Amino acid sequence: MNKTTKEQVVAEFSEKLKKAQAAFLTNYRGLTVEQADDLRGKLRATGVEYSVVKNTLLRLASRGTDMECLDEYLAGPTSLTIVLDDPVAPARVLSDFAKANTAFELKVGVLNGTLLSVDDIKALADLPSRDQLLANMLGSLNAPVSNFVGVLAAIPRSLVQVLGAIQEQKAA
């Protein structure tokens, strides 16, 4: 790469890192091309970008961003996953892929400027998705209202049952 190309790559990654909510560094050494393509496809399905990056270029690109704390982990073969939205799904894909492929190794992650260890990434992967959490919250908010409607519906039902019992009693 010539100097102009490197500057463009640094500027491009710097913009992406500024917009990113999370980023994950992984060691891809030992993966076959098919395995790497499989991982890229799974990550692309979650809407994130996965790329192999030169450590020096990534170090330059991360300056002045929340991802600057990754500098000390930029050694050896490094791949970068940049997450713009929900970080749970990509963390789950990376964690599952690391379990299935011993050659693939999670290094570290960053979530909103906070450094995540490998255990933190695995814990993040075990969380329900954002949509599931929203559905659970909506169900919790909806429960008192639906219970109240049930109570209000029980009052006329009880009245009808009492009147039916009185009618049976007078008929007998």
For the stretch 97-142, pLDDT in tens is: 999 988 888 999 998 888 889 898 888 888 887 788 888 888 888 8
pLDDT band at 46 (very low <50, low <70, confident <90, very high): confident
Instruction: State residue 159's pLDDT score.
Output: 86
Q: Give the rounded distance of the alpha carbon of 80 from its chain centre.
A: 15
pLDDT bucket at 77, cuts 50 / 70 / 90: confident
How many angstroms from the chain centroid is the CA of residue 104?
A: 19
For the chain, the C-alpha Rg in angstroms (whole number) is 27
CA 128, 120, 48 angle in degrees (round to 5)?
65
Percent of the chain with pLDDT over 70: 100
What's the mean per-residue pLDDT of the chain? 87
pLDDT value for 25:
92
The backbone torsions φ and ψ at residue 117, rounded to the nearest 5 degrees and listed phi first, read -80, 175
- Beta strand segments in the chain, E: 22-27, 49-52, 79-83, 105-111, 114-116
